[in-house]
Amino acid sequence: MLLDYDRLGGWRWGLVGVGTVVMLFLLLPIVFIAALSFGDSQWLVFPPPGWTMQWYQQLLTDPVWVNALLTSAKVGVIVTVLSVVLGLLAALGLARSRFFGKSALQAFFLTPMVLPVVVLAVALYAFFLKLGLTGTLTGFVIGHLIIALPFSIITIGNSLQSFDSALEDAAMICGASPLEVKWRVTLPAIRLGMFAAAIFSFLISWDEVVLSIFMASPTLQTLPVLIWSTLRQDLTPVIASASTLLVAFTVVLMLLASFLKKGSRQ
């Protein structure tokens, strides 16, 4: 290649420098917030004068925070299940059949990805207000599902595309009914894609804040919403610890997803 890293000479150090700066730019805020969550200053002083676990203790004993955490988890799990099931059905329909308006439908399924979330949020809020769905678990689930579903459809659709449909023919001629073919051959073959879709869906729900602010009520809110509303009132290091937990869990799921990707390539 023309721009081979090994032949760049002195430019190489420039590249390394730029890379490092970008990386710091991206990661420093997270490191910063994680450090603050363990610091014993009430006022989020950096560097922290001393270390403590008291903010985490406060976080996990305050029923408001614990409830928000549980709500986030509950919404996340329900959204994940629905997103994978509906995403699978949609992807199967798009990949395996031919019908009029298929590409239009495909584009329609993906619109939530390109639509500004805030527009979606306002629209849903107005609509749900009429139905009495704001401030309910159902409202959260439907809102998050709308954003998560396109990712599910794309991820599962991709793994269906790399799956050789001759395997389905082979299973069929072996005597398996269409449903058995899907259950015994197709689903096991695309299971990694389904896991990936599940992780993406959960993550999307887990750190969604815009839609959630519109859906939340004083008694029912997710962790990101609580962080946001607490932040507007006062600046307590509990926010830092809540944020750190949020990030830590996200990192764990991302790692899991990348392991799955590695596994599927083998």
Partner 1 sequence: MTTPFLQIRGLRKTYDQVVAIDHVALDIKQGEFMTFLGPSGSGKSTTLYIVAGFQEPTEGQVLLNGKSLLDVAPNKRNIGMVFQRYTLFPHLTVGENVAFPLRVRRRPESEIKAKVEKMLELVHLADYRDRLPGQMSGGQQQRVAIARALAYDPPLLLMDEPLAALDKKLREEIQFELRRIHQETGVTILYVTHDQEEALRLSDRIAVFSQGRIEQVGTGEELYEHPSSRFVAGFIGNSNFLPVKVEQMGAGRARAIFPNGQAVEGDARAFAAGSEGTLMVRPEQMRIRPHATSAQGLAVTVRDMTYLGDSMHFAVQTPWEQELAVRMAVRDGQGLCIGSSAVLEWDSQHGHVFA
Quick check: bond before 63 cis, omega within 30? no
User: Least separation, in Å, of the C-beta of 163 and partner 1?
Assistant: 9
Residue located via tokens 């955490």: 69
- Measured from the Cβ of residue 92, the count of other Cβ atoms closer than 10 Å reads 17
Residue 132 or 263: which CB sits closer to partner 1?
A: 263
Which one-letter DSSP state was computed for residue 41?
A: -
The 10 Å CB-count burial string (b at 16+, else e) for 172-197 is eeeebeeeebbeebbeebbebbbbbb
Q: What radius of gyration, in Å, describes the C-alpha atoms of the chain?
A: 23
Q: Among residues 62 and 180, whose Cβ is nearest to partner 1? A: 180
- The answer to whether the CB of 242 falls within 8 A of the CB of 65 is yes
In the complex with partner 1, the residue whose CB is nearer, 171 or 227, is 171
Nearer to partner 1, 62 or 169 (CB): 169
Work out how close the CB of 255 gets to partner 1 at its nearest, in angstroms, rounded to a whole number.
24
Q: How far is CA 160 from CA 91, 149, 179, 199, 201, in A?
A: 8, 16, 16, 18, 18
Least separation in angstroms between CB 196 and partner 1: 17
If the CB atoms of residues 164 and 234 are measured against partner 1, the closer one turns out to be: 164
Q: Return residues touching partner 1 (CB under 8 A).
A: 164, 166-167, 169-178, 180-181, 184-185, 188-189, 191
**CB 105 to partner 1: min, Å:** 24
CA 59 to chain centre: 23
Q: State the nearest-atom distance from the C-beta of 92 to partner 1, in Å.
A: 18
